[in-house]
Structure 1
Amino acid sequence: MPKVDIALSLYCELISRILCLNCFQKLRIATMTKTLAEIGLLMMINPEIKNDDLHLPPDGLPCYRILTGKDDAKFCHRVSEALSLGYQLYGSPAATFNGQDVIVAQAIIWPEAQ
């Protein structure tokens, strides 16, 4: 596996663990520190590696996101915008009712993270 793919995989795994509320409590500081150190070491060993080479999402966006909101055109536009940036749908959408509005959620993932 190329070094760039390893760095991207480590970065996306770290972000996914941080964003997952159930996993957050299980995430140890040592694991996070080790992962960040490995990414930093890889970039120090290969200074020619840039963000563009790692195929990261634009504008510093995370590799894994959950979009939530009222089930309306605005939410649909947010999902469409993420897809046009290059994200892919991840899993099925979810819906619930808060007593006033239908609230929907859709997970998206950057394709390089899979």
Structure 2
Amino acid sequence: MKRETGAWVSLVLAGLLEIVWATTMKLSDGFTELVPTILTVVLLALSFGLLAKAFRVLPTGTGYAVFTGIGAVGTVLVGAFFFEEAMNGWKWLFITTLLIGIIGLKQVTGSDAE
């Protein structure tokens, strides 16, 4: 159980880093800005390293879906709140749907992951 908990922690951290590297990629302006470009590459490597660590324990399909779901939801929210990207009721509905899916996948992926 402890090993599975560590895998979920790694997976969530990987997803959170995905939000950050996606944001620095936006700030890199198509990789024309040096510092955001370097940050993107470093954070991407860290994110994928944590994802690979989680994959050692968790099912690949569940792990990848949760990883990309965290990244997608977080990146949409960063876009809305920091880059003033448009949000409407439909976007909020689909973000909520993604969150329900992420939580659901976590709930149905129990100790059978090993």
Bigger relative CO (Cα 8 Å, ≥ 6 apart): 2
Per the normalisation by structure 2, the TM-score is 0.47
Greater fraction helix = 2
Per the normalisation by structure 1, the TM-score is 0.47
* Higher-Rg member (1/2): 1
